Structure 1
Amino acid sequence: MTVADRAFDALTDESRAEAQDITEAARGAEAGNFLRHGAALSLSKLADGLIDPKLVLAWLMGALGAPAALTGLLVPVREAGALVPQLFTAARIRAMGRRKWAWAFGAAGQGAAALVILGAALLLEGWAAGVVIVGALAVLAVARSVCSVSYKDVLGKTVDKPRRGTVTGFAASVASAGVLLFAGVLMLGGLERFQLVAGAIALAGAAWLGAAWIFATIAEEDRPGNAEGEATGLGQLALLREDADLRRFVLARVLLLPTALAPPYLVMLAGQAGDDRWGALGAMLAASALAGLVSGWIWGRLSDRSSRLVLAISGAVAAGFLAAAVILQGAMGTAWAAPLVLFGLMVSYRGVRIGRSTYLVNLAPEERRASYTAVANTTVGVALLGGGAFGVLASVTGPGVVLAVFAVVAAGGAGLAFAMKEV
């Protein structure tokens, strides 16, 4: 038995099971592929955490004196750029015999964009720095969209159904440990923060380049997708009309978006109550990373049993913690309330991410996984753009009302997920 086989056995419970959803040839290479997926995805997720636009890049823009108008573009550019283009790239990626090259190219593109951001941080300031950083982030987001639309297809070809959630959950936990370490260094305050942030961005770029190299070594069978007679571009949206299960999944995913949108409003609520510690860069990263560290592996294992239930449970957990934030508004300035709610919310966010990925891979027919992924992600990307309206609502009514709305929406998403077909 090889070292890869022993590691594979240690991380999974069904390493000797017969192939269920991959070919026998792919089953023979699954142990090595599983570890390569885990390593590449861990590096990619670590880079994501180190260059988080909501926290790290926003802090960097402020340190460089970039205008608030440009800082406000970071999250919309990152989210929309990563999701919306997928509708137009899916057909080309589906036609590739080995789609691992698309993911490797996308990871390398993210690494290069991260290094451009680093250059802007070291050499520019003010408007110039802001424009270059936002532009590089747009390139990074588009490269990420290539990774997103190709990854599920490669995963579906190279790792069998009972172990897909396990490998993504494992990667999430490993990456969270790395981000947690970075957050701890930031909170200690022993080193100059700008140098730490610049070093983290450099490490993110190197991690993406390393992930690209590892992913390129995956043993993937050469099986071009059959696009004959299939729609491309906007025509792929017809899948939402044709497949009721996909339609329900997309709607559930949209209703579960509060798990991603709520953290800034939670921090705002805590600040109004007199506690701004959880708005600090290190503390926010620590809460997010710790949640991923303790929950990623568990969510991954559970999603291999029922990704539908993982989505439902995650939505219910999010609704509960968001409701708690509203009920505890007066106590959010205490030392325990904001950290507890933020941690619970990020645990639910990790569950939604892992559950939705596993569910979509298992729901989509093999030859149409890229299209299913593109349609789902593009639709959700458009919905995310509309999420900016909640900022206007918060400015009028306060963050408590927004969090109450999010709690109701998340509860609806949990209910819809529970009613989805088991895959």
Structure 2
Amino acid sequence: MSSRGIADKVAIVGMGCTQFGELWDRSTDDLLIDAVGEALGSAGVDRDDVDAFWLGTLGSGQSGLTLSRPLGIDYRPVTRVENYCATGSEAFRNACYAVASGAYDRVMAVGVEKLKDSGFSGLLRTDPPDDGTAPELSLTAPAAFSLLDPAYCTRYGVHPDQMREAMTHIAWKNHRNGALNPKAQFRAEVSREKIEAAPKVAGRLGVFDCSGVSDGAAAAMIVRAEDALDYTDRPIYVKALSLAAGPMRGGVDPAFDFTSFPEVVHSAADAYAQAGIADPRRDISLAEVHDCFTPTEIVLMEDLGFTDRGQAWKDVLAGEFDASGRLPVNIDGGLKSFGHPVGASGLRMLYEAWLQLRGEAGARQLSDPHTALTHNLGGRPGGCVSFVSVVGNELGIRG
């Protein structure tokens, strides 16, 4: 799978992101107003100067009216999109292509989710009727992703205690990163002992192996690359956007063994081809990946080409993906610590890339980052959508 891509044709010139968390006193409208307002302010653009909007939300509103009403947008195109947990990234992808096509000069991608006022504990969604050939849909998300753990151990001969140690390190790392993030849902370091002693949710997944359920919104202002310096002296250029939707055969395919997401492999390969990245381990400065559960992040390190097959658990324990490691992953805390308001998560990842590549990440700022990868996963093992973006603070790829 490959596409021509739009490398260096569009740029992000402003971003905004709300606090993530249990925001009982903030409505969907409040979150949208805050995120959009911050993005407009950072780009120096008035709301009425935005030609079109793309809004991503899984269940916090229907149609473009969800955005146009609270923002008071008069008669502009507002497109509402949804693609499971890749919803925010889908809004961004569509907005970028609209500018690259020449249809619009200035567009905005927005993502929002309000999960804490639904009357339901967790992710509220309704699956359409099916023919019964997708058994994974009958499992809860923790149950489905818990299968990655024993499957990985079996395939690569990893002792369960070693895998448990690696999963614990992921949770410890991401909470430690999130403790430095003023907008994160959970802003406290958690000891390894506490992580391992936590009550179990599914399989060997404990409470600290699972991402948070939260409210939040994020937004990005997008223009043509050649116009970017009219808005900011530090734009972020889009190098690659790739989305892959799987055939959803994992539940009935004997070859599927829960140790890889084929959709991620395909979308990553496409993104690297678009961006001209020959070696992601060398060419990428930081990555924000979809750590919905701790074993997911371990598998993703291999699917994204950050390490060899069967090696991720060792590299995790060696600190390769820590803030001080060779490739920092989820430096803002990830889904695990920053939180996971579904429609906003993909844009939240880009928000961290925006801060890091502009040198504005504060206490968690990395030294001279130039290229960032973001990754979203929507669905379950065996049937999902995967999004990968690559962005950078220079035109071209700096090796």
> Structure 1 length normalisation: TM-score?
0.26
Higher helix share: 1
Q: Which one has a bigger Cα radius of gyration?
A: 1
